[in-house]
Every structure is written in structure tokens, then in C-alpha cells.
Amino acid sequence: MEGKLPFAPTRCGGIEFRWGERTYVMGVMNVTPDSFSGDGVGDDIEAALAQARHMASEGVDIIDVGGESTRPGSAPVSVDEEIRRVVPVIERLASEISVPISIDTYKSEVARRALEAGAKMINDQWGLKRDPNLAELAAERGVPLVLMSNQRDKGGYDASIQRDTADYEDVMAEVTSSLKTSMELAVSLGVPQENVIIDPGIGFGKTWQQDLEIIQRLGELRELGRPILVGPSRKSLIGKVLGLPVSDRLEGTAAAVAIAIANGADMVRVHDVQQMVRVCRMSDALIRREQDGS
């Protein structure tokens, strides 16, 4: 079986991601008061612990803790405030559950404190564009690093129409190029290639039509030779297609997750863990049978 894996396994704390065997599920935990999905736990550590235990019981593989909202138009928070939000939660989770914790931040000082508190992965939504020191930190601590393609610095956010807006000749070429640049920087700063995971950045500086195109063309990212993380959960592309609010996008998320897996996703970042674990298992049964020789 080892020879059939598309990439070398990635060690994350006490577990190993064996890419190609199945799709891994990253659960979203927002310790913010203004999450776009409406499920932020704020500074309630007990609520965060209860949510984490619930995710663990539902089969989550890793929990991604974020202390700054990523919704379009949201105001950034200070390093100190972000640390105040995430560190106590990570300390508690790391001491009481066995599922590894990821820190969702683009600030190296926040990531450093999070790793000291027990986090085992860094999820950088800016792909080192904002703070290249994250790569040096990931190399120093030997933890996986997720690099996301974020085009908000190019496309921006148009408040008058309440959506990301960008103009590309070829959105997938832009995403691939930005991820390649981020990967090369990470490796040059000491991150082992097997510790790099790439994310095309659904909803970050792309229109909803471009997000759909990215999921359809996801397989093109295979040329970069790294496992792919995709986060379509409850995103605006689902709201635009189905005409539904954030609270009613479960089925749309399930469809996006299944098609992403069919097109090459190795990990999905989701809010509704139990349902998406089931979608992943069924998708894997259909898609990976030929891959694993079943």
C-alpha cells in the first residue's frame, strides 16, 4: 500500500495523514464574536471544549481554531487580541482531547503562542504573503503548514455588492501560480516538502463563479505535487447558486465537498462535521476504490 500513496505521509502531532487512503476532515472552530457562519463560540472556553468533543465523537481528524473572522469586509484584530482569544482555548483542547489542533492565522507571533499552547499545524490563509516568518516557525517546530491562495489583495471586496470581486484571464492559472510561489518560499525557508499542504482559497478574492470553476478544475493543482485542502463549507458560492442563507447550506456544502473529492481534494475544511464525514466516506468508497486496488 505504501508504494501506492501519491505523497509521503505528513506527521501532525500524534497522527499521520496518509494521503490517498481517504479524505481527511478538518473541523472549523471560530473563537470569534463575528464568524460569517454564525457559529463562533467567542471567549467561552467551556463551549469550545464541548464543541471540540462533539466534533471528535463525529470523526473529525483535526480541529482548526481561528481568532479572527475571515468574512469579506471584516475588521482585522490585533496580535494581542487574537492571542487572547485562541491561546486559552488551544491549551484546554490540547490537554483534554486527542484530536490535533490547527491554528488558523497569518501572524507568526499568534502561531508561535498557539504552538506553545499545543497546536500541531499552522493554517495560513495568506500563503506567506503577509508574514513569511510563519514558514521559519513551521520549519523550527516541525509542524505542517497549510498555504492558501488568497487573491483579496488583488480583487478586494466590493461593499456595494457584498462580494469578493476580481478579474483574471484564467483564475486557475492565477491560483496555481500563487500557490507555487508560496510553496517555493516555504521550502526555501526550511519547511520540508512533506509538511506543505495547499488550499486554492474558495471565497478569497474570487467571485462565486470563479469558485465553482476552481472546484471543477481542482485536479490541475496536482501538478504542484502536494495534498489539497478545500474549504467550501457554507460559502457564498452555495448561497448564490441555491439562493439560501448561511444557515441553510448543508446540502450545497455536501455537493461541493463530494465533487471536490472527485476532483482531487485530500482534506476538506467544514463546519458540519458528522454530515461531511459521511459524505467523505461515501465519496471515498466511490472514488478511491480503483486507486487502492479494491
Which residues are known to be catalytic? Answer: 235, 269
> Which stretches does DSSP call E strand in 165-221?
196-199
Q: How far is 114 from 108, CA to CA, in rounded Å?
A: 10
Determine the 3-state secondary structure of 191 from DSSP: coil
Q: Which of 18, 16, 180, 185 is nearest to 7 (CA)?
A: 18
Q: At what angle do helices 45-57 and 79-96 cross, to 10 degrees?
A: 50
Distances (CA, A) of 59 to 199, 262, 282: 22, 21, 14
> Which stretches does DSSP call E strand in 106-150?
121-124, 145-148
Q: How far is 133 from 287, CA to CA, in rounded Å?
A: 38
The length of the chain in residues reads 294
